[in-house]
Amino acid sequence: MANELHHPLIQHHLTGLRDKSTPPHLFREHIRRLTLLLAYEATRSLPLSSTEIETPLKKTQGEKLSCRIGLVPILRAGLGMSAAVQDLIPESEVWHLGFYRDESTHQPVEYYRKFSAAPPDIAFVLDPMLATGGSASESIQIVKTWGVGKISLLSIIAAPEGISKVEANHPDVEIFTCSIDDHLNENAYIVPGLGDAGDRIFNTF
Ligand code: PRP
Ligand code: URA
């Protein structure tokens, strides 16, 4: 299922993100703010357990997150999102997956994986761009094979083609996005999109 979020702050920061005159340091700020808004929605159903604490006035009941949470940024561009989610969930674990798209076939090629023996209970796969859906589908499959039971995908911009692919391959995975864009062009870039997210984050044009 794909959730496209609607909020004035999302529209505002998306506009800054898409604008080709936005320099990398401001681009990274827009990515960070949009990720915080996406993560706020995507974490709504995290499980809690009761705990007793003492305020300066009295004992009371509180609630704490009760599961291990893994963040899986897809290198490189996903790195622009993981620190923002870590700020919201300081106890989360970050496990990295590296993929690049082959320029002619547009197929994802894995080049890095850093996973532990014991998978977390819940994983958030982070990648700002969901284009053909190849990288996200492969990544989600790897996270499933690792043993994670519940997975969500956070993508700032998604193409309809990518959403269809992830939904077909992984109907159990919820997708959260700030925008479902129009289409992919002949180079499998999202239109209107924002260009190459990794290059704009890391200033590698
Ligand atoms: C981009 C993006 C996704 C992928 C999306 O990465 O960050 O990982 O393309 O495309 P897909 O849905 O068609 O698979 P890219 O390959 O440009 O690598 P980078 O993050 O290192 O720039
Ligand atoms: N990767 C990007 O960074 N941008 C796109 O539009 C498609 C894939």
53 within a domain of the structure (yes/no): no
Q: Quick one: average pLDDT of 36-65?
A: 98
168 within a domain of the structure (yes/no): yes
Enumerate the active-site residues.
Answer: 101, 105, 196, 199
Please say whether the dihedral angle defined by the alpha carbons of residues 94, 40, 78 and 199, taken in this order, is positive or negative: negative
Distances (CA, A) of 163 to 1, 135, 157, 174: 9, 12, 10, 10
Verify whether ligand 2 is closer than 6 Å to residue 74 (CB atom): no
pLDDT of residue 117: 94
Return the H-helix or E-strand segment holding 84: helix 79-88
Report how many domains make up the chain: 1
Q: Quick one: average pLDDT of 93-98?
A: 98
57 within a domain of the structure (yes/no): no
What's the pTM value of the predicted model, to 2 decimals? 0.98
Q: Which residue's alpha carbon is nearest to atom 3 within ligand 2?
A: 196
CATH number at residue 72: 3.40.50.2020
Which range marks the domain in which residue 187 is found? 2-47+65-202
Q: For the chain, what percent of residues have pLDDT higher than 70?
A: 100
pLDDT single digits (tens) 122-178: 999 999 999 999 999 999 999 999 999 999 999 999 999 999 999 999 999 999 999
190 within a domain of the structure (yes/no): yes
Beta bridge partners of 62: 51
pLDDT single digits (tens) 4-32: 999 999 999 999 999 999 999 999 999 99
**Which residue out of 79, 106, 127, 139 has the highest number of ligand 1 atoms within 8 Å of its CB and is therefore the one to mutate?**
127
Q: How many CA atoms lie within 13 A of 128 on its CB side?
A: 32
